[in-house]
Amino acid sequence: MAASVDNRQFRNLNGVVHTFNPSNNFIHDLKPGFPVNKDLFSSDDEEENDDASNLQELIRKTNAEVEPSILDPRDEGTLDNWVTRNATMVRLTGKHPFNSEPPLPRLMHHGFITPVPIHYVRNHGAVPKARWEDWTVEVSGLVKNPTRFTMDRLVREFPSRELPVTLVCAGNRRKEQNMVKQSVGFNWGAAAVSNSVWRGVSLRHVLKRCGILTRSKGAVHVCFYGAEDLPGGGGSKYGTSIRREIAMDPSRDVILAYMQNGEALAPDHGFPVRVIIPGFIGGRMVKWLKRIVVTTDECDGHYHYKDNRVLPSHVDAEQANDEGKFILF
């Protein structure tokens, strides 16, 4: 396999093709707190290199304006007492779990790139303690070759994609919505939206490697499941799904991301790997990804089927629960 990745190529934010050099200590640079090894990236196009350098400078500048994250006293006595966080984040659900957004003026100040420490966070439970070295992502269901990938394999055996993606919680500005008509959920302000540069491997490439079956053979939905045990649905994993045609559409740029703004994912943002689906609500972008299952039916998990939904104006939450009348995101 080593010979086959020597000339592995991937595209950066601007679409320029770069060569992946496996001789660099890539895994070392992916550990939390370590910057990207710049020697991994090379291009013969001077203009494209200038664009990439400008983006890197923008990320460096915006990161330099954010104070270091700390072990916040508010996390003492919780399962998240090991996670460092920015002390200015506005906590919306009390002490635990951690659901927060930055003060709106701070978000606006940084413009196009949101620094990771003030990127909004939506957690349903405790942050899983993960190690890069022993984390795996299993692909199963309606595929010819079910496979369990280590993080090392994902990075080294597939070309990378890097692109800016805006994440927004479906509850963004719910506080204002509740002033008009009471809804279900806590009061997000207007800052549950953030933009980062994400790097990862194409979901499409991973599914093709595993031999995803055709739609006519029942492969209609691609389900994602995280690692955490959650209270909803009697202790279920967080799970959701998208349609096969979205997962396999190269123009959709669905990736399994392991880097955000040039560094390994932070624990609150899914370290070591999460799903990024441009154009979808944040609730579809499963963090701490452990399983991908190709199925005939969409995910029937609690958080997909009962939690993330939009109701018609003539149906309230109680009626939807009683009669099953709801529209999924």
Residue 210 is among the residues annotated as catalytic for this protein = no
> Of 51, 152, 307, 316, which residue is the catalytic one?
307
> Of 63, 300, 308, 316, which residue is the catalytic one?
308
- Torsional class of 217: left (φ above 0), alpha (ψ -120 to 50), beta (otherwise): alpha
Query: Residue 248 is inside which H or E element, if any?
Result: none
Tokens coding 88: 């200015």
Place of tokens 């009669």: 323
Calpha distance 288→272 (Å, rounded): 6
> Of 80, 123, 169, 223, which residue is the catalytic one?
169
Tokens coding 78: 């919780």
Calpha distance 87→67 (Å, rounded): 9
Query: Residue 302 is inside which H or E element, if any?
Result: helix 302-302
Residue 187 is among the residues annotated as catalytic for this protein = no
Residue 6 is among the residues annotated as catalytic for this protein = no
Is the bond leading into 115 cis (omega within 30 degrees of zero)? no
Report, as residue numbers or ranges, the catalytic residues. Answer: 169, 307-308
